[in-house]
Amino acid sequence: MKNTSPQIYLDYSATTPVDPRVVDAMMPYFTDSFGNASSIHSFGRKAKIPLEESREKIAGLIGAAPGEVFFTSGGTEADNHALFGAMHAAGRLHGKKHLAVSAIEHHAVLHAAENLKESGYDVSVLPVDSTGKVVPDSLAAFLTPNTSVVSVMHANNEIGTIQDIPDIARIVHEHGALLHSDTVQSTGKIPVDVKKLSVDLLAISAHKFYGPKGIGAIYIRRGVEVDSLMFGGAQERNRRAGTENVPLAVGFATALELSVSDLEKETRRLAELKRKFYRLLSDNFNTILFNGHPTDSLPHIVNISFDTSKVDVDGETLLLNMDLRGVAVTSGSACSSGSMEPSHVLQAIGRTTRTAKASIRFSMGKYTTEEEITKAATILKEVVAQSSAVRA
């Protein structure tokens, strides 16, 4: 299905449209098979079967056992469950109260870490290099006998950098700690296999790969101690109370299956579009810096900063002017307490506050065409010419 609207959506990392085949797969579970999956009568049993089949499908696609996959309301809850659940269990059972998180984690991890710090846990922030990588060899210096959990995302949502998770896992495990990895941006885009990655905990969110919003999962490796966050019924084998959302679980599994079956072809197509977009931007501007790793990067994310020593632009103004011209992108700032704060990710890779604020993220998806990126590059050029002052 092509985007037939005059608008150009280049914000697939924020969210994706639900694939019509996913909508079709979900529909019967809103109306016909509407039972409560925990009820033991026939209506309940009819809902329980697709719930468990979805869990099996998802587990199979990430190399896990069905008993290691627990549904959540999305990536944020999965990250929170991993951090709070594993830290509380390790503190309670082993007296280990140190957490280490990378500087470029999503706020679902960073703000959870801040909250743990306020409750008396020790928290270290792992630096990244100028490409956004946690350097495995420098990791050991941050780990102590008290470290129970390390959280390093698989791929970054702003700059696309892919981490060397198996190498990081080896060091974390040598120090007797657990590794949590947020794979919200990588699942469905690049191969994600819990065994190959060697992770103990992992977070997924369905709305990033053409599934519905409001559902995700946490993978908890068998034997890993994680406290529950939600109390009530015995759903999700006592780990997450609350009536199971069968239609969303079916949509999640269908979307993941479709994304994984298209993964190789789609990765090649997007990587080619990304190369072309880089070329267009390099031809149009001599004032931009590309953010992220040159090769270990998600195929659909392009993040640029304007070199503020050469040109005076503001990412927020560019975003609004691009939007007026029908192009949806994200800037390198986020609204925090009513003011625009520069991205913590861009600052962590060494961009100054001013440069971080002069940044734009483009993220492509399965409906993005070459025509769209060509048009977006032209519109960006016009918008920059309108709203910038070139330094002498």
Which residues in this chain contact ligand PLP in the complex, by CB under 6 A?
Answer: 74-76, 79, 106, 108, 153, 157, 182, 184-185, 205, 207, 216
Nearest to 269 by CA among 367, 186, 164: 367
Question: CA-based angle 100:123:14, to the nearest 5?
Answer: 65
- Choice between 217 and 304, CB closer to ligand PLP: 217
- Residue 127 to residues 133, 140, 219: CA-CA distances in angstroms? 8, 12, 26
User: Which tokens sit at 76?
Assistant: 């944020």
Minimal distance in Å, beta carbon 157 to ligand PLP?
3
Minimal distance in Å, beta carbon 75 to ligand PLP?
3
Instruction: Please state at what angle helix 370-387 crosses helix 246-284, rounded to 10 degrees.
Output: 60
Minimal distance in Å, beta carbon 301 to ligand PLP?
11
Minimal distance in Å, beta carbon 106 to ligand PLP?
4
Rounded CA-CA distance 217/226 in Å is 14
Nearest to 304 by CA among 336, 270, 277: 277
- Choice between 147 and 205, CB closer to ligand PLP: 205
User: Which tokens sit at 31?
Assistant: 């109306």
Q: Which residues contact 34 (CB under 8 A, 6 or more apart)?
A: 43, 47
In the chain, the N- to C-terminal Cα span, in Å, equals 47
Instruction: Please state at what angle helix 315-324 crosses helix 370-387, rounded to 10 degrees.
Output: 120
**H helical segments located in 119-245:** 136-139, 165-174, 194-197
- Choice between 159 and 220, CB closer to ligand PLP: 159
Rounded CA-CA distance 179/197 in Å is 10
- Choice between 147 and 163, CB closer to ligand PLP: 163
| DSSP-derived secondary structure for 58-76 | HHHHTT--GGGEEEESSHH
Q: Which residues contact 307 (CB under 8 A, 6 or more apart)?
A: 287, 288, 289, 355
- Choice between 82 and 313, CB closer to ligand PLP: 82
Burial class (CB in 10 A: 0-12, 13-18, 19+), 231: exposed
Rounded CA-CA distance 59/92 in Å is 29
- Choice between 148 and 205, CB closer to ligand PLP: 205
Minimal distance in Å, beta carbon 329 to ligand PLP?
15
335 is annotated as an active-site residue: yes
Minimal distance in Å, beta carbon 229 to ligand PLP?
14
CA 196 from chain centre, in angstroms, equals 19
- Choice between 14 and 311, CB closer to ligand PLP: 14
Minimal distance in Å, beta carbon 86 to ligand PLP?
17
Residue nearest ligand PLP, Cβ-based: 75
Which phi-psi region, left, alpha or beta, contains residue 377 (left: φ > 0; alpha: ψ -120 to 50)? alpha
The one catalytic residue among 1, 40, 141, 335: 335
Q: Any idea which residues carry the catalytic annotation? A: 335
